[in-house]
Structure 1
Amino acid sequence: MTNGQPTVLIVDDTPENLSILGELLQPTYRVRAANSGRRALQIAHSHPTPDLILLDVMMPDMDGYGVIAALRADPLTSQIPVIFVTAMDATEDEEHGLDCGAVDYITKPLRPAIVLARVRTQLELKRARDFLSDQNSYLEAEVAHRMGENQLIQQVSIHALARLAETRDPETGNHLRRTQQYVRTLAQALADHPRFAAFLDPRTIDALAQSAPLHDIGKVGIPDHVLLKPGKLTPEEWEIMKTHAKLGSDAIELAERDAEKPVEFLAIAKQIAHYHHEKWDGSGYPEGLRGDAIPIAARLMALADVFDALICKRVYKPPFPLEQAHAMIVEGSGSHFDPDIVQAFTSQFATFKAIADAYSD
């Protein structure tokens, strides 16, 4: 609309009809006129876009049906309401016009009161549709904004919790960021694999990456003399250290109970925390699960966690070179790790190296 005035395009190959309609509508509306179907399409694509089109059906070269078909086929003009204006008054003609997408049908000879009433009604309906569309667009933008804020708060909260565990284990450095990216890389590489595709949809992959930093949250419950011991743990101390897996999953489960409804990333985080030390052959802890009984999320985390531990310096070992760490992971295929996940790791090893370099300590 220009200056609040709706624009009406009138289309007729007869000058007298254009003149009659123009004089009738001019006092209230901005009127544009076309004496052919092709000229009507040109005007419909110019500024200002018509708010309504009064379209004669019987025209040479391109008739009204051809014009409305072209309007409806183009996203820029498909929503402009069209009223057919014609001398044809048979019921089947009117039905055909409405089937083609016209919103109304006015027969000649024109009756001014009828024309004005129909035009006013269709413009009011368009104004209401435009208002609802604007409101929907605003609401969609607002929802997207709020969701973005909520996701940011969620991510910050996750990292704050993970950092809490990290403060008790100062050797971890950028371990959280690296393992998070390793897990995402593996999940994306396996997204089309028959064994994993049903689980690894884009939403779950995002939740996996979000959850990964919480894998060792249970370490906050391990006593300092065990967690910070500068050397090899005794068998008794090792048993204490292993409890961090269940401590972590228990803490996340308590958080789940406090939530009013299920939170997807917490469910995945609980699986990762509890089972990421399980091994493919059943020799891991805390439950001794084996094979597919180990949740996929935990299997992915297991490889990511071990690879990162191998390439990092610890009080009890030097860092292994990347190629040696790669060989050690491959050696663990079928014993420590799911063979298909190891294969994905091998195919994505260049990405793993890039992540290790980007987030080096």
Structure 2
Amino acid sequence: MNPKEHKATLLVVDDVAANLHLMSELLRPHYQLRVASSGAKALELAWRNPPDLVLLDVMMPDMDGYEVCRQLQANPLTCDVPVLFLTAKDQAEDQQHGLDLGAVDYLSKPFEPNVLLARVRSQLRLKIASDQLRLRNAHLDEEVAQRTRELQAVHDVTILALASLAETRDNETGNHLRRTQHYVRTLAEKLSEQPRFAGQLDEKSIELLYKSAPLHDIGKVGIPDHILLKPGRFEAHEFEVMKNHPRLGYQALVHAEELLGMPVPFLRIAKDIALCHHEKWDGSGYPQGLRGEAIPLCARLMAVADVYDAIISRRVYKPEMPHEKAVAIIREGSGSHFDPDVVVAFLALQDEFQAISRRYADTDETLQVKVEQLAVAQRHVAASATA
């Protein structure tokens, strides 16, 4: 062995001093050695500084080699350290038992020195290869994890960019998107405690719901400016046009999924929210007039979140209303506008809703920016109408 090369460290365990001396004389010229005359001492040395290979006697008092091997395998510090049994027990069942415990080889005493050296070299080569493979796999795992994080970040940014695009053509502010995200997640987490909803609201589904919520009004990009940006109340025919935005949003997301050529769980939830968040529990909503549980659960959650935020938030065309007023309106709408179970969850969470609304409240500055954006857009609409 090249003296500049790292010498592997062997832990030799045997309760017979003569055996330890013999193996030390044989192995010390080639390897760094540590010796132990008991199982307890062997475990102490191995766990303090794991060796590259353990040569382990089976028949020892107090703690035999099998138990030492079992404990080495059970500890994350030493579970990858190969164990080579050295023993006078040469029955097939003894060997099988040792191998079942995780030993990599089994050498019967008395052994030929050259055979022992060859077995040790072989196991150390395998250990090196195993360590290198484990390091490569760990590196690949980290690369995959990093790539997944990057893709997730792109995914999240894309969602927010699309949602923000819709928001620029609306009376809503960006904080409306953030508030409704948090309202929806809070409701979903509460309902997930009930067996009836637990199957639909596992941790992954709640996260997808949270991330897809900002797309609920993306269909508004397809509504003509002279209607979408109109100050004041809509005429009946204008409202009929406005009621198309859920279907427009749904169709845009369907088209995106078709371009991908595969179903995407996130888009399934986003489509349901976009299409159905204006449906009502009693069937009087739009665009399909769905009733009760025919309305997707994610949309039933969004209905409460969206209405609550519309009531309590300042808009460029109205002041905010008190939290208590919003609570009263949603309570009154239970069984007509809203799913009664969602309303029960909302009422239990109303303090959390109020805290979210305060945390992400619109500032005077953001409202002023929105006023200016809408003024510019409305002047453009007026100019187009007279051109």
Structure 1-normalised TM-score?
A: 0.95
Q: Distance in 2 between matches of 1:127 and 1:353?
A: 59
1:69: Cα distance to partner? Answer: 2.7
Matching residue's letter, 2:47: H
Q: Distance in 1 between matches of 2:97 and 2:278?
A: 70
1:234 equivalenced with 2:211 (yes/no): no
Matching residue's letter, 1:76: L
1:256: Cα distance to partner? Answer: 0.8
Secondary structure of 1:8's counterpart equals: strand
Q: Which residue of 1 aligns with 2:6?
A: 4
- Alignment size in residue pairs: 359
Paired residues of 2:247 and 2:274 also in contact (CA < 8 A): yes
Q: Distance in 2 between matches of 1:59 and 1:316?
A: 87
Measured against aligned partners, the alpha-carbon deviations of 1:143-182 in whole angstroms (never above 9, x if no partner) come to 1111111111111111111111111114434110000111
Q: Distance in 2 between matches of 1:305 and 1:232?
A: 19
Q: Which residue of 2 aligns with 1:333?
A: 334
Q: Distance in 2 between matches of 1:239 and 1:34?
A: 86
Superposition pairs of residues 208-227 of structure 1, within 5 angstroms: 208-227=209-228
Measured against aligned partners, the alpha-carbon deviations of 1:106-151 in whole angstroms (never above 9, x if no partner) come to 1112201110111112222222222222122212211111111111
Paired residues of 1:249 and 1:273 also in contact (CA < 8 A): yes
Paired residues of 2:188 and 2:301 also in contact (CA < 8 A): yes
Q: Which residue of 2 aligns with 1:46?
A: 48
1:196: Cα distance to partner? Answer: 1.8
Q: Which residue of 1 aligns with 2:151?
A: 150
Q: Which residue of 2 aligns with 1:291?
A: 292
Measured against aligned partners, the alpha-carbon deviations of 1:317-350 in whole angstroms (never above 9, x if no partner) come to 4321011101111111110010111111111112
Q: Distance in 2 between matches of 1:90 and 1:149?
A: 56
Paired residues of 1:8 and 1:54 also in contact (CA < 8 A): yes
Q: Distance in 2 between matches of 1:86 and 1:25?
A: 17
1:13 equivalenced with 2:24 (yes/no): no
Q: Distance in 2 between matches of 1:270 and 1:92?
A: 62
Q: Which residue of 2 aligns with 1:69?
A: 70
Measured against aligned partners, the alpha-carbon deviations of 1:159-211 in whole angstroms (never above 9, x if no partner) come to 11111111111443411000011111111111132332111111111111111
Superposition pairs of residues 71-86 of structure 1, within 5 angstroms: 71-86=72-87
Q: Distance in 2 between matches of 1:207 and 1:70?
A: 43
Structure 2-normalised TM-score?
A: 0.89
Q: Distance in 1 between matches of 2:174 and 2:108?
A: 79
Q: Which residue of 2 aligns with 1:167?
A: 168
Q: Distance in 2 between matches of 1:152 and 1:55?
A: 51
Q: Percent identical across equivalent pairs? A: 59
Matching residue's letter, 1:18: L
Q: Distance in 1 between matches of 2:37 and 2:174?
A: 75
Secondary structure of 1:195's counterpart equals: helix
Paired residues of 2:208 and 2:266 also in contact (CA < 8 A): yes
Paired residues of 1:178 and 1:356 also in contact (CA < 8 A): yes
What is the root-mean-square deviation of aligned Cα atoms in Å? 1.7
Matching residue's letter, 1:39: K
Structure 1 moving runs of 4+ over 4 Å: none
Superposition pairs of residues 255-266 of structure 1, within 5 angstroms: 255-266=256-267
Q: Which residue of 2 aligns with 1:24?
A: 26
